[in-house]
Amino acid sequence: MFEYRIHYLADCDDANWKKYSSEVQLNVGDIIELACGLHHVVCAIKPQKTGIRIDVSKSAQDPEEALLLAQQYEHI
């Protein structure tokens, strides 16, 4: 199981999920779905002292929209 800390490049507020777990290792460009049902594109993966941080794009209702928003906001 891979554990990640989430850093939001957009949509940042206190209600956002702070962690993400995955059975497979994530890569830049992957689209993840959080437990709340929102989709994000993984824009960067950064190893840190406290674990691995993923930078994610603006949230979207479906994977296709997430990819379009990440491109529009120039996150990828």
User: What pLDDT, on the 0 to 100 scale, is given for residue 13?
Assistant: 73
pTM given for the model: 0.92
**Rounded CA separation 68/14 (Å):** 25
Q: Which residue's entry shows tokens 């460009």?
A: 29
Q: Where are the domains of the chain?
A: 2-72
Contacts of 22 (CB under 8 A, 6+ apart): 1, 2, 4, 32
Confidence of residue 7 (pLDDT cuts 50, 70, 90): very high
- DSSP secondary structure letter of residue 60: B
Q: Which residue's entry shows tokens 């906001």?
A: 73
pLDDT tens track for 10-67: 977 767 889 999 999 999 999 999 999 999 999 999 999 999 999 999 999 999 999 9
Distance spanning both ends of the chain, measured CA to CA: 26
